[in-house]
């Protein structure tokens, strides 16, 4: 057995890209931790800022902590009214908000006994309510169970401290994603790679090639999983300790703000121990699930599709099933809910199990044990009874050959397209691609007050510029600026008794200028001024309603286009990752190279990939335009007379061409971008023999930078 396990380790480390990928993801995870700790939130302070303030008051009594923080808050508030530039002001404001947050946290910790008593009183109050008269209902039982949980907790003294370091270990969703990616790579290298390289049927004929070999794979994968987990979590611990430090491990876990309602009596150190024990068993269970997927799948693509389907199904069940419904137990048994381990310790949560409350922790433990046993035996028995997968003759799909006159060039292109869509299953990914984009681009329109007023002003100004429209803007601006004076005049008339209360309300409603109306007018006025400058340069300018164009060219529109481009890249990666490497592994490339027409197959592969990428890019681009036009209307989109410079929200820098021509140029750019992406994927497929390496390198180069961009890192 030792030799088998050792051989599996050699198989993993013989691939030089495994260490490169793990090292790259480890570096990326470290950067993400450092970025998260120092990223400023909505109130302009970061977790590192909070940790430094907690460090200043650590060791003081609660009264002294509040006194120190209130003095600091008063001094910061006084500084805010001094002459600062915008940067200094925002820094002081963020520090002030951080101090207020810590003061509130300290007050909550001092009121912890009151919180425990309030839970009990709330349960008694709800039980006496006439709305919950049925004593045998789940709601009543659930309240009684939660009340009993918190009654068992002692009213211990809490020591407020920063939870930033602990949350980086326990609430790090990016770390879960990275580890899942690494575990998938390791599991599929141990299983799917042997099928791709043709070793699978040979191994099954050998005495140790079945159960003993698979047991060796399990032991090797478990060792790698635990080692990888320890490596990544140790990296997080090191970065946090060097950056902001951890809180004391001996204080009650309720002292941390995110675990204030934790239903268990434990210290921070005990909580981390329980968390890592549960997380370790969960990762081992996930690794066995990935082994089972690798055993059942025949290619990397099918394995990734099965894994993605399981994760999406789990996420759908977790979000769609209500936790207190009769099927609520299944929402907690989903794989994505289990990966969210920290939610078991945040607050007391029970689920409905045939009318009786069952704690989410109990369901999680049972689910992990159940998945562990099922995945272990399924994959073990599946490999042990494996036989070479062959399609039965009766199930083969037969197509009657039609006599079509092909010349050799068209025949090569036809077979390459057929190979791409049928052999590489590109048609399946096309269906998924179209369905996903159709869901994301459903026409939706939410009209706010600002949109309403902008539309009102646009109706008055649409068309060519004129003296009357300019005069209308001047009068409307004067009306908005003098609205407050007229309102004050009506108040004076009311005080003198010249108008009644009803008349006053009528005039106030008539003269009131909302903030949204002011913003809408400012936007319209600015747009009109830009168009006047364009007209002075000798170009005809036309005022258009730009609400639809703002959805296309604005910040949110650019983010949606980037998201769609990442989806397009993922689609191309799954379709083209094996296009060249398949023939390299099987040796067909050498055979084809012996004939002049065989040497042209690469050329026709590029053409077929270009057809696929170009068609997908055009479809995506048209879908974006149609979905926006169906909701907001892209005014002037089909015009050959109105210049693109009339769309003032356009920041592309292209000028002096009609709007329709600009849209066609943009479509051509999208096609070129898709062609470049497909070319990069084909290049990786040509270089690497293993399709998994093509997927990983294409993902790192084509998708990961876009994800960073969406997250605001780049």
∠ Cα 168 173 174 (to 5°): 90
Give residues with Cβ within 8 angstroms of 710, minimum separation 6: 559, 562, 563, 566
- Write out pLDDT tens, residues 273-317: 999 999 999 999 998 888 888 888 777 777 887 888 888 888 888
Backbone CA torsion sign across 190, 191, 193, 195:
positive
Cβ neighbours around 437 below 10 Å, total: 19
Pick from 367, 361, 49, 336: nearest CA to 173 = 336
Residue 395 has pLDDT above 60, yes or no: no
| pLDDT of res. 362 | 87
pLDDT in tens, 261-282: 888 888 999 999 999 999 999 9
List the structure tokens of 114.
């009151």
Give me the torsion for CA of 500, 501, 504, 509, rounded to 10°. -150
Token pair 């599996």 in the structure block, residue: 8
- The end-to-end CA distance of the chain, in Å, is 48
| Confidence (pLDDT) at 232 | 93
Q: What is the pLDDT of residue 618?
A: 92
Tell me the C-alpha distance between 1 and 74, whole Å.
Answer: 70
What are the pLDDT digits (tens) for 325-345? 777 788 888 888 888 888 888
Residue 166's contacts (CB-CB under 8 Å, 6 or more residues apart) are 246, 247, 256, 268, 271, 272
Q: Compute the distance between CA of residue 273 and CA of residue 264 in angstroms, rounded to an integer.
A: 13
pLDDT at position 424 is 65
Write down the mean pLDDT value for the chain. Answer: 80
DSSP secondary structure code for residue 172 in this structure: -
- Tell me how far apart the alpha carbons of residues 214 and 379 are, in angstroms, rounded to a whole number: 9
d(CA 381, CA 133): 52
- Residues 499-555 pLDDT 10s: 788 887 888 887 778 888 888 888 888 888 888 888 888 778 888 888 888 888 878
Distance CA(13)–CA(180), nearest Å, equals: 19
Percentage of the residues of the chain whose pLDDT score is greater than 90: 7
Reported as a pLDDT band with limits 50, 70 and 90, residue 225 is: very high
- How far apart are the C-alpha atoms of 589 and 686, rounded to whole Å? 11
Quote the CA–CA distance of 166 and 188 in Å, as a whole number.
32
CB–CB of 517/454 below 8 Å?
no
Q: What Å distances lie between residue 5 and 190, 229, 286, CA to CA? A: 11, 19, 20
Q: CA-CA distance, 698 to 706, in Å (whole number)?
A: 12
- Tell me the C-alpha distance between 612 and 702, whole Å: 17
Residues 11-29: pLDDT tens digits?
777 777 788 888 888 888 8
Q: Distances in Å between the alpha carbon of 221 and those of 98, 251, 313, 644?
A: 45, 36, 25, 58
| 161 SS3 class | strand
Q: What CA–CA distances, in Å, run from 354 to 136, 327, 337, 351?
A: 11, 9, 21, 10
Alpha carbons 224 and 218: distance in angstroms, whole number = 10
Over range 360-381, report the average pLDDT: 85
Mean pLDDT of 562-573: 89
- Render pLDDT for 649-708 as a digit per residue (tens, 0 to 9): 887 777 778 888 888 999 999 999 999 999 999 888 888 777 777 888 888 888 888 887
* pLDDT tens-place string over residues 156-211: 888 888 888 888 888 888 888 889 989 988 888 888 777 766 666 555 655 565 67
Kind of pairing, strands 356-359 and 350-353?
Answer: antiparallel
Helix boundaries (H) for 482-600: 483-496, 501-511, 515-536, 547-553, 555-576, 581-586, 588-592
DSSP string, 86-140: HHHHHHHHHHHHHHHHHHHHHHHHHTHHHHHHHHHHHHHHHHTSGGG--TTSHHH
Query: Which helix or strand (DSSP H or E) is residue 350 part of?
Result: strand 350-353
d(CA 577, CA 692): 8
HEC per residue, 295-342: HHCCCHHHHHHHHHHHHHHHHHHHHHCCCCCCCHHHHHHCHHHHHCCC
Asked if 303 contacts 385 with a C-beta cutoff of 8 angstroms, the reply is no
The partner residues of 543 in beta bridges, in order of sequence, read 463
CA distance 129 to 140: 10
pTM of the model: 0.68
């Amino acid at each position: 057995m030792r030799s088998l396990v050792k051989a599996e380790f050699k198989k993993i480390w013989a691939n030089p890209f495994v260490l490169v990928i793990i090292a790259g993801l480890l570096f990326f995870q470290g950067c993400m931790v450092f970025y998260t700790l120092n990223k400023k939130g909505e109130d302009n302070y970061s977790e590192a800022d909070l940790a430094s303030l907690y460090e200043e008051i650590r060791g003081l009594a609660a009264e002294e902590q509040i006194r120190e923080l209130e003095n600091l808050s008063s001094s910061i508030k006084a500084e805010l009214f001094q002459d600062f530039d915008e940067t200094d002001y925002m820094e002081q404001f963020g520090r002030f908000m951080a101090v207020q947050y810590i003061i509130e946290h300290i007050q909550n910790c001092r009121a912890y006994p009151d919180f425990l008593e309030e839970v009990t009183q709330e349960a008694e109050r709800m039980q006496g309510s006439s709305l919950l008269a049925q004593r045998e209902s789940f709601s009543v039982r659930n309240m009684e169970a939660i009340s009993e949980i918190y009654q068992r907790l002692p009213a211990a003294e809490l020591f407020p401290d920063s939870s930033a370091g602990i949350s980086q270990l326990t609430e790090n969703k990016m770390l879960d994603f990275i580890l899942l990616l690494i575990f998938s790579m390791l599991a599929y290298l141990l299983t799917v790679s042997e099928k791709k390289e043709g070793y699978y049927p040979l191994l099954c004929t050998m005495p140790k090639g079945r159960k003993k070999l698979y047991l060796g794979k399990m032991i090797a994968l478990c060792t790698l999983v635990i080692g990888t987990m320890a490596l990544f979590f140790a990296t997080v611990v090191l970065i946090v300790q060097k950056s902001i430090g951890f809180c004391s491990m001996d204080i009650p876990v309720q002292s941390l703000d995110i675990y204030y309602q934790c239903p268990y009596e434990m210290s921070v150190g005990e909580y981390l121990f329980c968390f890592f024990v549960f997380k370790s068993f969960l990762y081992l269970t996930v690794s066995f699930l990935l082994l089972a997927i690798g055993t059942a799948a025949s290619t990397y693509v099918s394995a990734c599709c099965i894994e993605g389907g399981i994760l999406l199904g789990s996420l759908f069940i977790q979000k769609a099933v209500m936790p207190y419904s009769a099927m609520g137990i299944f929402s907690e048994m989903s794989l994505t809910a289990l990966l969210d381990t920290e939610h078991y310790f945040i607050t007391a949560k029970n689920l409905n199990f045939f009318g009786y409350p069952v704690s989410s922790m109990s369901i999680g433990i049972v689910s992990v044990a159940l998945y562990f046993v099922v995945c272990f035996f399924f994959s073990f028995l599946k490999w042990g009874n494996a036989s070479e997968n062959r399609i039965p003759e009766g199930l083969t799909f037969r197509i009657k050959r039609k006599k079509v006159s092909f010349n050799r060039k068209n025949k090569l292109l036809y077979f390459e397209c057929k190979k791409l869509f049928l052999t590489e299953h590109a048609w399946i990914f096309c269906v998924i691609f179209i369905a996903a984009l159709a869901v994301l681009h459903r026409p939706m329109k939410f009209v706010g007050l600002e949109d309403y007023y902008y539309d009102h002003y646009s109706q008055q100004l649409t068309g060519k510029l004129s003296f009357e429209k300019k005069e209308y803007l001047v009068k409307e601006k004067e009306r908005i600026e003098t609205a407050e004076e007229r309102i004050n005049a009506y108040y004076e008339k009311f005080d003198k008794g010249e108008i009644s209360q009803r008349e006053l309300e009528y005039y106030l409603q008539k003269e009131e200028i909302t903030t949204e109306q002011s913003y809408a007018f400012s936007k319209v006025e600015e747009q009109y001024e830009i168009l006047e400058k364009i007209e002075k340069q000798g170009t005809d300018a036309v005022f258009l309603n730009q609400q639809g164009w703002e959805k296309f060219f604005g910040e949110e529109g650019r983010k949606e286009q980037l998201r769609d481009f990442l989806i397009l890249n993922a689609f191309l990666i799954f379709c083209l990752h094996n296009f060249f490497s398949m023939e390299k592994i099987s040796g067909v490339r050498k055979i084809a190279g012996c004939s002049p027409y065989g040497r042209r197959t690469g050329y026709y592969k590029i053409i077929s990939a270009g057809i696929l990428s170009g068609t997908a890019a055009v479809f995506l681009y048209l879908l974006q335009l149609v979905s926006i036009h169906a909701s907001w209307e892209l005014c002037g989109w089909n015009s050959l007379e109105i210049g693109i410079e009339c769309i003032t929200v356009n920041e592309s820098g292209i000028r002096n061409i009609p709007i329709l021509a600009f849209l066609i140029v943009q479509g051509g750019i999208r096609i070129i971008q898709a062609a470049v992406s497909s070319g990069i994927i084909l290049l990786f497929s040509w270089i690497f023999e293993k399709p998994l390496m093509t997927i990983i390198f294409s993902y790192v180069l084509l998708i990961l930078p876009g994800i960073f961009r969406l997250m605001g890192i780049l």
